[in-house]
């Protein structure tokens, strides 16, 4: 069944351009357009789309307030279309706090031209969101209402059963049942990879960790540089742990999470020092989960806990294979709690997962203490 889309933008050019791109796919039907937030709310109620593309700055009612009301009245998957500026990143993250689940940057040059990569990206995002069986309401929290984390006094150890190496496509929907594993004994670093739906998932996890969390954290979220810098700032305001936009020379230390800059690659050397390198043009993702996973596999071998969260594609699968060869532990987000079950699915199908965890249980598992 085709994904039904409502296109919302005050610009006639963008309404036409987005509709034109989406109409190229037989998997998508554009069922309507709207010029402002009020019209978007009305048409969301009457047309019942599967996905809405939403502009930010619009007359009468802006995109952020429109998303908030949509989430109250008829929750729908919303893809924000916003600018590449610092201010654009700020308001996009505010929209995701309101309930939007993904975004696409509004670079006029790319939209004016006939960019095949842009067309493909937009279509793939819409189809993935439209076919997602799980609707994730925003888990973003404002700083004044962040949850209070408990102190970690110790780490419970447990043998984590290994999954079978061969997992077939026929068993995709029931790869393994979610469990509640513990942070592995002797873990030196936690590396977390995510994409679509990742900002909300990361915030749900990180805001529940205590300031004295005993292990350094590396975060690899698919985002442009402007967005990663703003995202790191917002997380740092909301979390008990320190969250920093990673720079070359940063040291891994307990209670600190380093977020890979967009457009770059993040690696770690033997002294626990981060290196930020230019993104190789041959690599699809910048930052790439595979690159960071490969780096920590070489440096920390079996002392790594790798986590694969929600996202499209298969980034993280090859890195997870290297980590498994080195004896590391790998957790994947459960299908039922993912916005997009792509990256965790790829790792699960590769047969290298140790445990599948529901989003709501990650923080508990990471901070599990001895009973």
| Predicted confidence (pLDDT) per residue in 214-236, tens digit | 999 999 999 988 899 999 999 99
CA dist., res. 280 & res. 288, Å (int)? 10
Evaluate if residue 172 carries a pLDDT over 50.
Answer: no
CA dist., res. 229 & res. 21, Å (int)? 30
**Comparing C-alpha atoms, which of 18, 360, 24, 3 is closest to residue 180?**
360
pTM above 0.85, yes or no: no
Is 315 one of the annotated active-site residues of the chain? yes
Is 134 one of the annotated active-site residues of the chain? no
Instruction: Report which secondary-structure segment, H or E, holds 332.
Output: strand 329-333
CA dist., res. 312 & res. 102, Å (int)? 11
Tell me which of 195, 295, 337, 355 is the catalytic residue.
195
Identify the three-state secondary structure at position 218: strand
Tell me which of 102, 250, 315, 318 is the catalytic residue.
315
pLDDT of residue 107: 76
Domains of the chain: 3-131 (3.40.50.2300), 143-366 (3.40.50.180)
- What percent of the chain is predicted at pLDDT more than 70? 87
Query: Does the N-terminal peptide bond of residue 287 adopt cis geometry, omega within 30 degrees of 0?
Result: yes
CA dist., res. 91 & res. 210, Å (int)? 28
Sign of the four-CA dihedral 363, 364, 365, 370: positive
* Residues whose CB is less than 8 angstroms from the CB of residue 86 and which lie 6 or more positions away in sequence, other chains included: 226, 229, 230
Is 222 one of the annotated active-site residues of the chain? yes
Tell me which of 9, 55, 138, 222 is the catalytic residue.
222
Torsion, Cα 82 84 86 88, to 10 degrees, reads -10
| Predicted confidence (pLDDT) per residue in 91-138, tens digit | 888 888 889 988 888 877 777 777 788 889 899 999 999 987 555 444
Of 27-41, 42-56, 116-130, 241-255, the least confident:
116-130
Helices (H) and strands (E) in the chain, counts: 12, 14
| Predicted confidence (pLDDT) per residue in 226-262, tens digit | 899 999 999 999 999 999 999 999 999 999 999 999 9
């Amino acid at each position: 069944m085709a994904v039904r889309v409502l296109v919302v933008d005050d610009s006639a050019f963008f309404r036409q351009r987005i509709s034109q791109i989406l109409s190229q796919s037989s998997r998508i039907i554009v069922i309507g357009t709207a010029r402002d937030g009020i019209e978007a709310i009305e048409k969301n109620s009457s047309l019942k789309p599967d996905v809405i593309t939403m502009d930010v700055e619009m007359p009468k009612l802006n995109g952020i307030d429109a998303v908030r009301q949509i989430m109250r009245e008829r929750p729908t998957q919303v893809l924000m279309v916003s600018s590449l500026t610092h201010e654009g990143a700020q308001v996009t993250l505010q929209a995701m706090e309101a309930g939007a689940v993904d975004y696409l940057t509004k670079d006029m040059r790319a939209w004016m031209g006939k960019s095949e990569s842009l067309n493909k990206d937009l279509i793939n995002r819409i189809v993935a969101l439209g076919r997602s069986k799980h609707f994730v309401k925003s888990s973003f929290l404002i700083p004044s209402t962040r949850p209070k984390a408990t102190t970690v006094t110790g780490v419970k150890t447990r043998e984590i059963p290994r999954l079978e190496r061969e997992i077939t496509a026929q068993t995709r929907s029931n790869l393994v049942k979610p469990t509640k594993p513990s942070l592995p004994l002797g873990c030196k670093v936690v590396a977390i990879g995510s994409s679509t739906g990742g900002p909300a998932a990361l915030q749900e996890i990180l805001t529940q960790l205590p300031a004295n969390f005993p292990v350094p954290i590396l975060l690899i979220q698919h985002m442009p540089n402007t967005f990663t810098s703003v995202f790191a700032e917002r997380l740092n305001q909301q979390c008990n742990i320190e969250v920093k936009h990673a720079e070359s020379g940063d040291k891994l230390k307990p209670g600190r999470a380093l977020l890979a800059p967009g457009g770059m690659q993040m690696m770690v050397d033997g002294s626990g020092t981060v290196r930020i390198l230019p993104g190789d043009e041959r690599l699809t993702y910048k930052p790439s989960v595979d690159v960071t996973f490969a780096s920590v596999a070489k440096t920390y071998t079996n002392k790594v806990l790798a986590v694969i969260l929600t996202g499209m594609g298969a980034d993280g699968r090859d890195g997870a294979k290297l980590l498994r060869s080195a004896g590391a532990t790998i957790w994947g987000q459960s299908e039922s709690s993912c916005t997009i079950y792509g990256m965790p699915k790829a790792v699960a199908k590769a047969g290298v997962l140790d445990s599948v965890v529901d989003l709501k249980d990650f923080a508990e598992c990471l901070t599990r203490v001895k009973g």
